[in-house]
């Protein structure tokens, strides 16, 4: 895609942008909470940690004859709404697959645009994160991010470090296999430095070295993992952490994933019986 076409979406963003939940104020938050209750869900029955593979931005734009950038901007708005809904409903952690290491295989103009959009999303919302008690973490290979994004992520993480109502993890330049390898390397260095014996390594210790554990502690593993756009795979996302996650797949493209779709996923989670490999005694 030519750069001029890719960036031409900028002129139309205002007309396409729907009202974001957080800009609507307390009334919108109260209405969303009421929608949760009316759907038959109880706050205590919700997953503590929701993870989302956000797929379908390009197809959404193509179906409307729009530049790819418009699809990503619509996806950004869906992300923002999902964050505020999660916060309003009392979900404690939300991990969003914003950019995978495999995504570097896309055209450079698109990669650059996505990196800039992620940076802009963090920068534009950090004040709201502070007010709403949202702690931001950007997980993944930081060395592959532009310096400006590295700086923005670091500043947001520092500014929100004392927040605890919602842990928002943006997986950027992320790979589940890469994360496991990094954890193994850290353990190997500790063994090499005589800080650890090989026989001391168990699942709990390895899990503690994963980025989600460092970022979110007890909320490191998602209870519910959502994938949009009709694809039925994890695509190298949270491979260790999702061992016992409930999976929810929807044909909805990510830009169209709103309150109703989120509630549908939560209702599906509520209907599951989670045994973690054990037999439930009656």
Residues marked as catalytic: 55
Cα–Cα distances in Å, from 34 out to 30, 89, 168? 6, 10, 23
Q: What is the DSSP letter of 56?
A: -
Nearest Cα to Cα of residue 9 among 253, 1, 124, 115: 1
Instruction: Judge residue 67's burial from the number of C-beta atoms within 10 Å of its C-beta, 0-12 exposed, 13-18 middle, 19 or more buried.
Output: buried
Q: Is the dihedral of CA 68, 18, 128, 56 positive or negative?
A: negative
The two structure tokens encoding residue 252: 């909805």
Q: What is the DSSP letter of 64?
A: T
Residue 239: enclosing H or E segment and its boundaries?
A: none
Is residue 115 within 8 A of residue 150, CB to CB? The reply is no
């Amino acid at each position: 895609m030519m750069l001029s076409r890719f960036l031409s979406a900028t002129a139309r963003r205002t007309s396409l942008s729907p009202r974001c939940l957080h800009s609507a104020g307390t009334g919108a938050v109260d209405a969303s909470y009421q929608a949760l209750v009316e759907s038959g869900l109880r706050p205590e029955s919700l997953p503590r940690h929701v993870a989302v593979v956000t797929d379908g931005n390009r197809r959404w734009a193509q179906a409307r004859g729009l530049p790819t950038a418009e699809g990503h901007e619509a996806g950004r708005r869906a992300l923002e709404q999902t964050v505020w809904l999660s916060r309003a409903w009392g979900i404690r952690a939300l991990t969003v697959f914003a950019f995978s290491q495999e995504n570097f295989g896309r055209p450079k103009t698109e990669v650059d645009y996505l990196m800039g959009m992620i940076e802009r999303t963090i920068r534009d919302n950090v004040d709201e994160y502070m007010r709403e008690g949202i702690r931001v973490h950007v997980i993944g290979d930081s060395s592959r991010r532009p310096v400006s994004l590295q700086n923005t992520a670091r500043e947001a993480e520092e500014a929100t470090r004392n927040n605890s109502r919602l842990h928002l993890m943006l997986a950027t330049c992320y790979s589940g296999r890469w994360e496991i390898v990094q954890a193994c390397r850290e353990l190997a260095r500790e063994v090499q430095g005589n800080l650890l014996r090989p026989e001391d390594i168990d699942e709990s210790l390895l899990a503690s070295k994963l980025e989600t554990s460092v970022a979110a502690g007890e909320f490191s593993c998602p209870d519910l993992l959502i994938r949009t756009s009709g694809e039925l795979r994890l695509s190298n996302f949270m491979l260790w952490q999702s061992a016992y996650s409930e999976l929810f797949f929807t044909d909805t493209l990510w830009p169209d994933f709103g309150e109703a779709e989120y509630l549908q996923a939560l209702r599906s989670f509520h209907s599951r019986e989670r045994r973690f490999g054990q037999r439930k005694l009656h």
